[in-house]
Chain A
Amino acid sequence: MALRKTRISALATLLAATTASGNLLAEELRLITWGGYAPDEVVAQFEEETGIDVQITLSNNEDMISKLRATGGAGFDLAQPSQDRIVGVQRQFNIYKPIDYSRVNTDQLQPSMVKATQESTALNGQSFGVPSVWGTSGLIVHNSVADTVTDYTDLCDPAVAGKVSYRLKRPTLMGFAFAMGMDPFAAYNDRDEYQSIMAKVEDKLIDCKANVKTYWTGGDQLLSLLRTGEVTAAMAWDAGGWKLNAENPEIRFVAPESGALGWIDTFAIPRRSENEEAAYKWINFVMQPEIAAKITNASGNFTASKGADEFVKAELRDAYRLSFDDEAINNIKWYPPVPPGLEAMEGQVLDRVQAAN
């Protein structure tokens, strides 16, 4: 999802990606993915077992789409966009090819997630994604303000003025809309309704601007703001909160009252992938429970792999349970696919918030 590590050097790597088309002798898998999704240990094991050389480019949703759009779906053999960002993009730019589920070992995946992903990435009767890693966005709060900040809009409370950070990206818009008692996902197909929701969120965010210390732009930046205590409440992703919790028990990830925002990152195959075979090999390899647990340990996020939980580090499991009770899990708002056009609308809202004084 959007709330995660970003690499700003996107333009530079864009060039590198377009020129570095594979003409090496050894078989190669060019993977564009998020930080933590392909730990060195896992890559080494895969290379040893298959003899395939793995080239990794770290990225985020927007960057992934931009790069693939620029090349018409070439330059990479496997990508990992979020499930809600596939259909709209595919309709618009045609950068992926459908998944051949017969080549995916679905037995080792959680059936509910497979079903949800197949539905949300379906276009013209074919589906374009395989679930891989999931997580949520919510609040990271310091104990001293935990009673004040229990929902997204509490970030605008005067009690935490100047000690707040969030990101100027669409998850913030969604979170605030839910906390303000509206349901943006339900309005996805009603432009006017959606527009009016966004207008209200825009006003709220502009009002709230004085409370914000800074809009964070990178994961490391946010972590350091929270670590030093310069920021005591932030909207961010669960894995970051758990990581900080391990360092300092005073800091916790909290599922907001109006619900955490749930996302699933997928495997998707770029339209001009040059090694589809290796891509499917990778999918089936990393979704094995023991391997998937390593990814969880590295990234802090849980996977769609069935039975991986028992291999995950104990403290991560504990932190997870502390943040989510059953009610909180049921309250997670899963992102539906974004219809085309909404993002332009949201973009203008974000721009106006950024430029407001």
Chain B
Amino acid sequence: MNASASRLSLWLLLTPFLLWIVLLVLVPHLQMLRVSFQVRESWDTLAWGLEQYQNFFSESYYWRTFVRTGVMSLFTTFLTLLIAFPIAWYIARLARGRSKGILFLACLIPFWASELVRTYGWMILLRESGLFSSWLQALGWVDGPVEMLYNDVAVIIGLVYNGLLFMVVPLVTTLDGMDENLVEAGYDLGGGHATVLREVVIPWAMPGIVSGCIVVFMLTLGSYLTPILMGGKDSAWFTEQIFTQFITRFNWEQGAALGVLLLVLSSLMVWLGLKLTGQSLRKVMG
């Protein structure tokens, strides 16, 4: 009686979550998978086939964009880690009391605005008639206006900025939990800065590093506005191609196939990342 009542309440508690998973995650993905294997033979007849996937490999611009997106996302993730680590170290280990909270808040503030606003902010700074360009001219370092927007560097700047918080938070959390004495022991037993970082700090922070990297990589891979707005004419990004297939070309079949491929890529990268660093998903996310 009692057991069945508690089981009932468990199910009641789980129901919203299960509904969410099934309706908003599982069903759309299965639907996408199904659509991706459809081939539009004429305007009202559909057949099953691999044509969309063949298109992906035969049209070089699909897989070139795919590879470019993957490589740039990896690079962005790595760069974000490099920048976030000292920040997280400072917040977790060096800042005390109030300044700790303020610094954390400072990392959070940009996220009160939407991605669009953040990206426009960078555009105002980097564009030819923008702030950086006029400062450089005022300082006399350059003769004419400099265009810093519409290239890969600008895209990476925007992406790193977008990902920074999601790297800093897990790093701060893991570094916060590290016993100060571990670092001291590392020095005490004869290690230099590099050794202590490599042998003591990084292994300890590994769960945070991996979870931060996974989140930032997924965010970057799936970002849409930043590469388009900041990349300009060479912005080719895989999500943009998916969007184009669905919205501008009405080619849902191709869009679905590209979406499935993106999902496979990101899952594969996460799996590889976990394997290479010897972490498990449970350890990283728990």
Contact = CB atoms under 8 A, between A and B. Distances in A.
In-complex A–B contact (CB below 8 Å) = yes
Interface of A: 8, 10-11, 62-63, 65-66, 69, 89, 91-93, 162, 169, 209, 212-215, 217, 221, 228-230, 340, 343-344, 347-348, 350-352, 354-357
B229 A351 contact: no
24 contacts: A10-B247, A11-B247, A62-B247, A62-B250, A63-B247, A66-B250, A93-B250, A169-B248, A213-B232, A213-B233, A217-B229, A228-B129, A230-B129, A344-B251, A347-B248, A347-B249, A350-B244, A351-B61, A351-B62, A351-B244, A354-B61, A354-B233, A355-B65, A356-B61
Contacts of A89: 250
Contact of A215 (B62, B232, B249): B232
Contact of B129 (A66, A229, A350, A356): A229
A199 to B, nearest CB: 15
A228 B244 CA distance: 29
Interface of B: 43, 59-62, 64-65, 116, 127-129, 147, 149-150, 225, 228-229, 232-236, 241, 243-251
B127 A162 contact: no
A348 B59 contact: yes
Contacts of B127: 228, 230
Contacts of A209: 233
Contacts of B62: 351
B216 to A, nearest CB: 22
Contacts of A344: 249, 251
A8 B43 contact: no
Given A217-B229, A343-B249, 13 more contacts: A89-B250, A93-B250, A228-B129, A230-B147, A340-B43, A344-B251, A347-B248, A348-B59, A350-B244, A351-B61, A351-B241, A351-B244, A354-B233
A228 B128 contact: yes
B147 A162 contact: yes
B71 to A, nearest CB: 15
Given A91-B43, A230-B127, A352-B61, A357 B234 contact: yes
B61 A214 contact: no
A347 B251 CA distance: 10
A347 B244 contact: yes
Contact of A213 (B60, B64, B150): B150
A351 B251 CA distance: 13
A215 B225 CA distance: 14
A214 B251 CA distance: 25
Contacts, number: 73
A66 B247 contact: yes
A8 B225 contact: yes
A343 B250 contact: yes
Contacts of B147: 162, 213, 230
Contacts of A228: 127-129
Nearest to A168: B233
A73 to B, nearest CB: 14
A355 B64 contact: yes
Shortest 8 CB-CB contacts between residues of A and residues of B: A214-B232, A355-B61, A228-B129, A347-B249, A62-B248, A230-B128, A214-B150, A66-B247
Contacts of A65: 250
B67 to A, nearest CB: 11
Nearest to A216: B232
A8 B152 CA distance: 22
A210 to B, nearest CB: 9
B15 to A, nearest CB: 20
Nearest to A225: B127
A217 to B, nearest CB: 6
Contacts of A62: 247-248, 250
A357 B65 CA distance: 11
B154 to A, nearest CB: 11
A356 B233 CA distance: 10
Contacts of A221: 229
Contacts of B234: 357
B66 to A, nearest CB: 10
Contacts of A8: 116, 225
Contacts of A10: 247
Nearest to B234: A357
Contacts of A347: 244-245, 248-249, 251
A354 to B, nearest CB: 5
A162 to B, nearest CB: 7
Contacts of B229: 217, 221
A69 to B, nearest CB: 7
A298 to B, nearest CB: 24
Contacts of A357: 234
A207 to B, nearest CB: 13
Contact of A354 (B59, B236, B250, B251): B236
A92 B244 CA distance: 18
A169 B248 CA distance: 9
A23 to B, nearest CB: 21
A162 B65 CA distance: 24
B59 A214 contact: no
Given A347-B249, A352-B61, A217 B228 contact: yes
A340 B116 CA distance: 34
B158 to A, nearest CB: 14
Nearest to A162: B147
A155 B157 CA distance: 30
A58 to B, nearest CB: 15
Nearest to A357: B234
Nearest to B129: A228
Nearest to A163: B128
A320 to B, nearest CB: 29
Contacts of A69: 250
Nearest to B246: A66
